[in-house]
Structure 1
Amino acid sequence: MVGGVVTATIGAAVSIYVPKLLDPPPEERPIAINVVSNPATVPAWGNEVFSFVMPVDARPATRPPTDCPSVVDWAHANGGVDQEATRVRLVVQGASDQGVLIEGMRARIISRSATPAPGGISMTCGGSQGVVTPRHVVMDLDTKEPSAEYATRVDGRLPLFGFTLQRGETEVFELTVTTKGTVEWVIEFALVVGGESQQLEVTNHGRTFRTTGFSSPRGYRIEAGTFHWVECTGTPPTCGSKPVSPAALRYS
């Protein structure tokens, strides 16, 4: 069985930026959702490190960039799988006149292996760029029916997961999913609309999410506050200090 945890930050969004294009259009379902799958663009993860395992046979058509948000997009576009953790921001907005109760959230597993699938080199960036302490909701993928619950106790008890969105009201989830194996998954919300239960699936813009615990013995990293690559070897990795040109990176 593959172990893992889902954590999320939930906050009332009176002053947050709400994208114009929520997916799909509000008239098609009771809540509209925008998925931000580049965690390096989300301030809540300013202190986090983002790592990706590249395919064994990676042959990128372009050289890797040297700013972290662009590295994340480049790695995903070239077949990179999130290493150790997948982080996703979900902007959820009520789109029903009846109000929508969000009573649960889970990860639906498409495929998984308890042994991390071997990959190629790792590509890493980020860290120490901001200070935010999110309020967490946790979900253990080892349980028979994984469900989210708050990690922080209130009056000595864990509050029940669930809240209601009226039309136009918005909540933000900063979702972190981890695994020690290799997992392909999607997100599912459990909703109640007009007294009827509904399941709503959320994908990575039409694709599944992929996360792996594979540790590559070799890779490259952009240290926080710098804009050049250095080579790293070993587990845990030890990184050199000599800059490596993007043109000189070796993927196998």
Structure 2
Amino acid sequence: MPKDAAVEEFAGLVRALKARDGRSYEALGRRLSVSASTLHRYCSGATVPEEFAVVDRLALLCGADEEERRALEAAWTEADRARRRAASPAPPAMPAVSVAPESNLEPSAPEPGAGIAPGTFAADPSAPDPSAPDPTAPDPSAPGPGIAPGTSAADPSAPEAPRARPRRGAPAPLLVAAAVALVVIALAATLLGHPTRTARGPAPASTAPGRTAVPLPFTWSIGSQLWEGGCGHTYLVDRDPRAVAPPPVAADSGAWAGTHGAVHGGEALVRITVQGQSPSEAVVLHALHVRVVDRAAALPWNAYRMDNGCGGAVTPRHFAVDLDRPRPLARPVDGLDASGAEVRKIPAVSFPYKVTSSEPEQLLVSARTAGCDCRWYLELEWSAGGRTGTVRITDGGKPFRTSGTRGRQAYVHDAAEGRWIRDSDLGLRS
């Protein structure tokens, strides 16, 4: 299915859900913890969500049944594949390697007296020459009239010296090299096509040290390449501006960051979506802990801002984490809704918190640092049906990474000139 058709089919289903519900983009966005503009981009097809969880929650809010949710997930899967294909760089073309029919991958022998082209091999003197059956043929050890100076034909009386020549039945070195190169390029294209660091649950069991492993009664997934308001973010990249591609749309940030080896600059936003597996059994979330596994000096790389600043009418509730503290805590922070005539507070998530299969929850974590290159992960404590456990939340099996940007050379992208230009104000805003 073409990219535009897959994305448009998905966007049409999202629009139908929104129209059936009747609520505004702002009202639905508040329930989904996304901005009204982000939800509008989902409906218009300008953006495909990085994960299905936010769309599934929209379907639940709008009263979709199980069959409609399955159709919606199938449409999202096709649209997400189209988005990833568009974001992945195409592998370089390999020159064609031609092999003559019936050559058995061995170069043919030159005719006696003919010139030997550079890079070819003399014929094997131990094999009969079907083109020269005459026993009175000239001695092959004598140079013929067309043999280049300094080149001699093979001596049949001398023992065969090791030569860089394929034997019959063995693959030619050029063909082997080409096959290896094609395998390497295919592996590289696969890795570049899936750089988005999105981990999906459920994990097989609780991972807390010292606890007995038990199956998780809930599923979880993360989004680790999020931008503030869907438009503002800073990355640290160890490249000159001329070697950095223009900013992507937020939905393709994972591919862009993976290609450039980018690290979150100043702040990393991580969204954890938790959903129970049983409609009759609630899962209680008790606490969210931050574990810093490594601290180093902030990276001395250039900072690239994805925009010149943006804002939205809704500030989602979240957990604020100060990675510069000796023992960082996940502090719950209220959200704000300024879409109406009055600013309304969105109460922060307060533990213990209950989730079920029909009432999932999204936990947004904002981890900031000014002066360290920090690697960290999260631990979520839970209980259900008399069981307890702790699940470790990582970035695809590796710690999350955030580095400070203070004092770093910063750049913003000038769309009119099509290049990155210096932004001297970043140090003041960090």
| Alignment-derived partner of residue 17 in structure 1 | 55
Supply the AA of the counterpart residue of 1:103: H
Supply the AA of the counterpart residue of 2:289: R
Supply the AA of the counterpart residue of 1:36: G
CA distance in structure 1 between the aligned counterparts of 2:382 and 2:249, rounded to whole angstroms: 35
Of 196, 208, 218, the residue aligned with 2:387 is: 196
* Alignment check: 8 A CA contact 1:190 1:198 kept: yes
| Alignment-derived partner of residue 293 in structure 2 | 110
CA distance in structure 1 between the aligned counterparts of 2:231 and 2:334, rounded to whole angstroms: 21
Of 204, 220, 231, the residue aligned with 1:33 is: 220
Residue aligned with 2:291, SS: strand
CA distance in structure 2 between the aligned counterparts of 1:190 and 1:227, rounded to whole angstroms: 50
Supply the AA of the counterpart residue of 2:353: F
CA distance in structure 2 between the aligned counterparts of 1:222 and 1:58, rounded to whole angstroms: 10
CA distance in structure 2 between the aligned counterparts of 1:29 and 1:178, rounded to whole angstroms: 30
Residues 50-98 of structure 1, C-alpha deviation per residue, up to 9 Å, x if partnerless?
Answer: 11111369996xx514433235531233211100000122221112553
* Alignment check: 8 A CA contact 2:285 2:380 kept: yes
* Alignment check: 8 A CA contact 1:64 1:71 kept: no
Residue aligned with 2:286, SS: strand
**Closer/same/farther in 2, CA of residues 198 and 146 from structure 1, 3 Å limit:** farther
**Pairing 1:133–2:315 present:** yes
**Pairing 1:74–2:251 present:** no
CA positional deviation for 1:198? 0.9
Structure number having the greater strand percentage:
1
CA positional deviation for 1:168? 3.8
CA positional deviation for 1:128? 1.8
Residues 102-122 of structure 1, C-alpha deviation per residue, up to 9 Å, x if partnerless?
Answer: 011122212113x32323x22
CA positional deviation for 1:234? 4.1
**Pairing 1:98–2:281 present:** yes
TM-score by length of 1: 0.68
* Alignment check: 8 A CA contact 1:102 1:189 kept: yes
| Alignment-derived partner of residue 250 in structure 1 | none
Q: Which has the higher contact order (CA 8 A, sep 6+)?
A: 1
Aligned residues: 216
Residue aligned with 2:233, SS: strand
Q: Which residues in structure 2 correspond to 1:218-233 (within 5 Å)?
A: 218-222=409-413, 228-232=418-422
Of 207, 211, 214, the residue aligned with 2:402 is: 211
CA positional deviation for 1:130? 3.5
Structure number having the greater helix percentage:
2
Residues 158-198 of structure 1, C-alpha deviation per residue, up to 9 Å, x if partnerless?
Answer: 98422111234210122211012110111211112233331
CA distance in structure 2 between the aligned counterparts of 1:189 and 1:98, rounded to whole angstroms: 18
CA distance in structure 1 between the aligned counterparts of 2:287 and 2:317, rounded to whole angstroms: 16
**Percentage identity across paired residues of the two chains:** 22
Residue aligned with 2:55, SS: coil
Residues 33-54 of structure 1, C-alpha deviation per residue, up to 9 Å, x if partnerless?
Answer: 12122214xxxx3276211111
| Alignment-derived partner of residue 7 in structure 1 | none
TM-score by length of 2: 0.42
CA positional deviation for 1:29? 2.0
Supply the AA of the counterpart residue of 2:374: V
Residue aligned with 2:56, SS: coil
* Alignment check: 8 A CA contact 1:149 1:161 kept: no
| Alignment-derived partner of residue 26 in structure 2 | none
CA distance in structure 2 between the aligned counterparts of 1:24 and 1:236, rounded to whole angstroms: 37
CA distance in structure 2 between the aligned counterparts of 1:84 and 1:212, rounded to whole angstroms: 6
